[in-house]
Amino acid sequence: MDTKHDPLLHIESMYKQFSGNHVLKGVSLEVLPHEVHAIVGGNGAGKSTLMKIITGLYQADSGTMSVKGKRVRFSSTHEAHHHGIYLVPQEPLIFPNMTVEENILIGLPGKPALLKAKVEKLIKRLGWNLQLEESAMTMSIAEQQLIEIIRGLTREADILILDEPTSTLTFGEIDSLFTTIRQLTKAGIGIIYITHRFSEIFELADKVSVLRDGIISAKGPTSEFTYERLLACLMPENKQTPKSEQQKETAPKEKGWPILQVENLSSQKFKDISINLCPGEILGIAGVVGAGRTELAEAISGLMPTTCGSIQLEGEEIRALSVRQRIDKGLIYVPEDRHKHGIFSLASIQNNMSSTILHRLAKLFLPFTKEDELAADYVSQLQIKTTSIKQEVKDLSGGNQQKVVLSKSLATSPKVIILDEPTRGIDANARTDIYKIIRNLKQKGLAVLLISSDIEEVVKLSDRVVVLYEGRLVKALERKEDMTPDTIASYAFGIGCEVSNR
């Protein structure tokens, strides 16, 4: 076999369905040595299902898969690892009570001293700042992602699958990752690179496959694609917006007085940000990781100190107020990392939902009846799939955990709710449920500040969008027809805009 040109991975006519829902409809693709093969697709296109089949978590209903010329059908991830396939997941799978070194080397045979030296050499080559002796519990989401990537690279996979690897990395870390990927492909490794970011495809990928509604709608060398063609291939065929819906989207809305006004707000992470938000409105904040989106949300909610500027809620200056005082005034923040900041995983659904407002309910005795009523009400409203309000949150699916986080925040009766990556790490069905909840919040008159790395999500949900780039607000898109994925992506990556002092 000519190892330089024959495929490392070959998939032919792969089908998969769940409960009658056809997720993959005859997918065929191949990955060669020395190449980065990008896979791009919208939510629910089938990317995750395809990757789970490749790595042995699922089995295809029909179709064939060959690795290095050998027909295979994996029944476990161990078998996939044995054949040189490793998936670096988007959602870090980290053991918090272990050290960084233990997380990277877990299950890896060999002498500990030699393995440690190998990891240290790899980290040095990457230029990343990771201390092997530190507890993983102290790691940020970005650092957890680095641990996952190093874990895969340490195992010397022939086929490395990277699922949205830059979604939590800073610009410097992304540059280091790209350098490493190029080194790996030069050595003969084949990489499947899953991303929503078009600019990364054109910078890094040799080939691209567009997955749409369970089929490969287009594939070929990256040089044959443009931004416009990628977008066209992602869109459903013959998609037309009904006239009534078009009128609804483009009809001017009467805007009331802003309930939240942020003027010239600055911190160590961003500078001179001014935004406003009205009741019954969703304002999307777009930008790549490191642009200052989460830091802005934390500053508005009181979690991060600011150096200057103004934050007014219903005309009242709240910049000097504590987080608790801002919550009591009607401003609530739902953080990105639900496991670290959003939920008490070992507590019940009931206890989680009441935790934010327990100080309002409790007097001499804990109000168990009110707690029960509150939990039952939100379980019903948000359609949380659970056996009982007494069930521990850790036993729920990711989507239902996210609904508990939202319930916990809504229990405070907020006027403004900041949602930071509300659909991160959940499946397509749960994502649809979260979208319905967000739209219902808008209809009820809440002001929603939406932060998302998924540009399609921002476009789909937002009434207006502001784009941040390197800590500055570089573009405000006020009209729905201007809010296209291409436009937002261009500004998010600094294309066609100048970052001014303002």
Question: What confidence tens digit (pLDDT) does each residue in 168-227 have?
Answer: 666 667 787 888 889 889 889 999 999 877 788 999 999 999 998 889 999 999 999 987
485-492 helix and 227-234 helix, angle to the nearest 10 degrees: 130
- Return all residues near 142 (Cβ < 8 A) that are at least 6 apart: 168, 169, 170, 173, 289
Q: Structure tokens of 451?
A: 């932060």
pLDDT of residue 249: 40
CA distance 108 to 6: 29
CA distance 263 to 273: 6
pLDDT of 252 > 60? The answer is no
Q: Structure tokens of 376?
A: 């039952």
pLDDT of residue 197: 74
Arithmetic mean of pLDDT, 132-136? 92
Residue type, 79: E
CA distance 43 to 196: 10
Arithmetic mean of pLDDT, 234-252? 45
Longest dimension (CA), the chain: 78
Confidence of residue 240 (pLDDT cuts 50, 70, 90): very low
What mean pLDDT is reported for the chain? 82
At 468, which helix (H) or strand (E)? strand 464-469
Q: Is the dihedral of CA 395, 400, 405, 407 positive or negative?
A: negative
Share of the chain above pLDDT 90, in %: 41
Confidence of residue 239 (pLDDT cuts 50, 70, 90): very low
Arithmetic mean of pLDDT, 482-492? 85
CA distance 112 to 102: 10
CA distance 394 to 179: 38
* 412 contacts 356 by C-beta, under 8 angstroms: yes
Task: Kindly state the DSSP code that residue 127 receives in the 8-state scheme.
Answer: T
- Give CA 308 to chain center in angstroms: 30
pLDDT of residue 85: 93
Candidates 204, 229, 203, 197; CA nearest to 489 is: 197
Give the Cβ contact number of residue 231 at 10 Å.
15
Cross-strand pairs, 113:
none
Arithmetic mean of pLDDT, 298-312? 95
pLDDT of residue 248: 39
pLDDT of 90 > 90? The answer is no
pLDDT of residue 283: 97
- Exposure class string for 254-290: b at 16+ Cβ within 10 A, else e: eeeebbbbbeebebebbbbbebbbbbbbbbbbbbbbb
**Burial (Cβ within 10 Å: 0-12, 13-18, ≥19) of residue 347:** middle
More confidently predicted of 442 and 237: 442
Complete domains list, the chain, with CATH: 9-234 (3.40.50.300), 247-492 (3.40.50.300)
Which region among 50-64, 170-184, 219-233, 447-461 has the lowest average model confidence (pLDDT)? 170-184
Residue type, 320: A
* 194 contacts 182 by C-beta, under 8 angstroms: no
CA distance 235 to 232: 5
